[in-house]
């Protein structure tokens, strides 16, 4: 066996051990060492050289990056998640036929979809979705994310929140919690436009706060233009399209003059 491969395997064994112990500090250190070692394998993307150890190298590299993605979720680091996911992606798209598909593939792809949803990157969400074969949409992990997106677009926020109870994988909980925050902001935005006012109790229920204290904190921090009066929250609505009393004379004069000038040029 190739000495480099042995080294990586041993290091990865230690990584997995501390991963199970939830010792994330050690994990992160070992992971950076592993990533450096992986750069020495010629068979990995993007070069894809046909070396005798290609299959083993690709399999272990994919395994490492899959763990890296899960680790980044556990350490709640979204940037690291994005980086690791993009390093992992070529293994899913370009290695068919060389190594067997991974069992972790759909959970991780679903996790990525969820991340894009949380970050409100809907265009990228759909771009990723197009890459999946129609059979993948039946997978519970993918289906979960797709249904979430639909409810989210419709505005059925209750369904989004109740989906937290039916997460297909434990790692999804982190993003679901983040999603709750995104949903609250969305609800706040909608309520502002849809209601003239809400009683404090109703507002609390709609915005999912457990105490008046939390609600008023949220309002002072995020929505300073809202007003609390007589146990009610008043939303300051911009008065749109008021009947026009004044004629915008200067603007009209300018427009008419420019029409005259243009007509002059044509005739």
Partner 1 sequence: MTQDVEMTEPQAAPLAAAASSNSASSATASSALQHLKEIAALIGNGAYAKEVRRIVRAVRLTMLLRRKLRAPAVAAFLTFALPPGSEAQSRLSSYLPKEDEHEMDVDMATSAGQVPFKNSLPELEIYCYLLVVIFLIDQKRYNEAKACSSASIARLKNMNRRTVDVLASRLYFYYSYSYELTNSLAEIRGPLLALHRMATLRRDELGQETLLNLLLRNYLHYNLYDQAEKLRSKAPRFEAHSNQQFCRYLFYLGKIRTIQLEYTDAKESLLQAARKAPAGAWGFRIQCNKWAVIVRLLLGEIPEKTVFMQKGMKKALTPYFELTNAVRIGDLELFRTVAEKFAGTFSSDRTNNLIVRLRHNVIRTGLRNISISYSRVSLSDIARKLRLDSDNPVADAESIVAKAIRDGAIDATIDHANGWMVSKETGDVYSTNEPQIAFNSRIAFCLNMHNDAVRALRFPPNSHKEKESAEKRRERQQQEQELAKHIEEDDDDEF
Give residues in contact with partner 1 (CB under 8 A).
122-124, 126-127, 129-131, 134, 146, 150, 153-159, 162, 186-187, 189-196, 198-199, 202, 206, 241-244, 248, 252, 255, 259, 262, 266
Min dist CB 29 to partner 1, Å, is 32
From 115, 31, 33, select the one nearest 73 (Cα to Cα): 115
Q: Which is nearer to partner 1, 63 or 212 (CB)?
A: 212
Inter-residue long-range contacts of 207-212, CB under 8 Å, 24+ positions, other chains counted: 208/161, 208/180, 208/184
Q: Which is nearer to partner 1, 29 or 127 (CB)?
A: 127
Hey, what are 219's tokens? 């309002």
Q: Which parts of the chain fold into alpha helices (H)?
A: 3-20, 24-38, 54-74, 78-93, 105-118, 122-130, 140-154, 157-162, 172-194, 200-206, 212-222, 249-266
Min dist CB 167 to partner 1, Å, is 18
User: What is the DSSP-derived secondary structure letter of residue 229?
Assistant: E
Q: Quick one: how far is CA 208 from the chain centroid?
A: 21
Min dist CB 253 to partner 1, Å, is 13
Min dist CB 127 to partner 1, Å, is 5
Q: Which is nearer to partner 1, 25 or 97 (CB)?
A: 97
Min dist CB 202 to partner 1, Å, is 5
Q: Which is nearer to partner 1, 77 or 202 (CB)?
A: 202
Min dist CB 78 to partner 1, Å, is 19
Euclidean distance between CA atoms 151 and 160, whole angstroms:
6
DSSP assignment of 92-150 equals HHS-BTTBPPPTTHHHHHHHHHHHHHHTT-HHHHHHHHHTS-GGGGGSHHHHHHHHHHH
Q: Which is nearer to partner 1, 20 or 153 (CB)?
A: 153
Q: What is the CA radius of gyration of the chain?
A: 27
Hey, what are 217's tokens? 């904190």
Min dist CB 129 to partner 1, Å, is 6
Q: Which is nearer to partner 1, 23 or 138 (CB)?
A: 138
Q: Which is nearer to partner 1, 122 or 173 (CB)?
A: 122
């Amino acid at each position: 066996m190739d000495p480099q491969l042995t080294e990586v395997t041993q290091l990865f064994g230690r990584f997995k051990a501390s991963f199970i112990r939830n010792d994330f500090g050690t994990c992160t250190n070992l992971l950076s060492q592993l990533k450096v070692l992986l750069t020495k394998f010629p068979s990995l993307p993007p070069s894809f050289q046909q070396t005798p150890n290609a299959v083993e190298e690709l399999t272990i590299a994919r395994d490492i990056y899959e763990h890296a993605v899960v680790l980044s979720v556990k350490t709640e680091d979204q940037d690291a998640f994005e980086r690791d996911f993009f390093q992992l992606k070529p293994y899913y798209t370009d290695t068919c036929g060389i190594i067997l598909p991974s069992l972790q593939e759909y959970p991780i792809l679903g996790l990525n979809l969820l991340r894009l949803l949380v970050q409100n990157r809907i265009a990228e969400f759909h771009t990723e979705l197009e890459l999946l074969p129609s059979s993948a949409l039946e997978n519970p992990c993918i289906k979960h994310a797709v249904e979430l997106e639909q409810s989210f677009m419709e505005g059925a926020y209750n369904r989004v929140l109740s989906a937290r109870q039916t997460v297909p994988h434990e790692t999804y909980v982190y993003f679901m919690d983040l999603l709750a925050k995104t949903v609250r902001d969305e609800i706040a935005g909608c309520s502002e436009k849809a209601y003239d006012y809400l009683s404090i109790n109703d507002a609390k229920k709609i915005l999912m706060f457990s105490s008046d204290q939390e609600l008023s904190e949220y309002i002072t921090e995020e929505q300073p233009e809202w007003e609390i009066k007589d146990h009610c929250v008043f939303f300051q609505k911009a008065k749109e399209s008021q009947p026009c009393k004044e004629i915008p004379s200067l603007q009209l004069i300018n427009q008419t003059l420019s029409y005259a000038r243009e007509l002059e040029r044509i005739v």
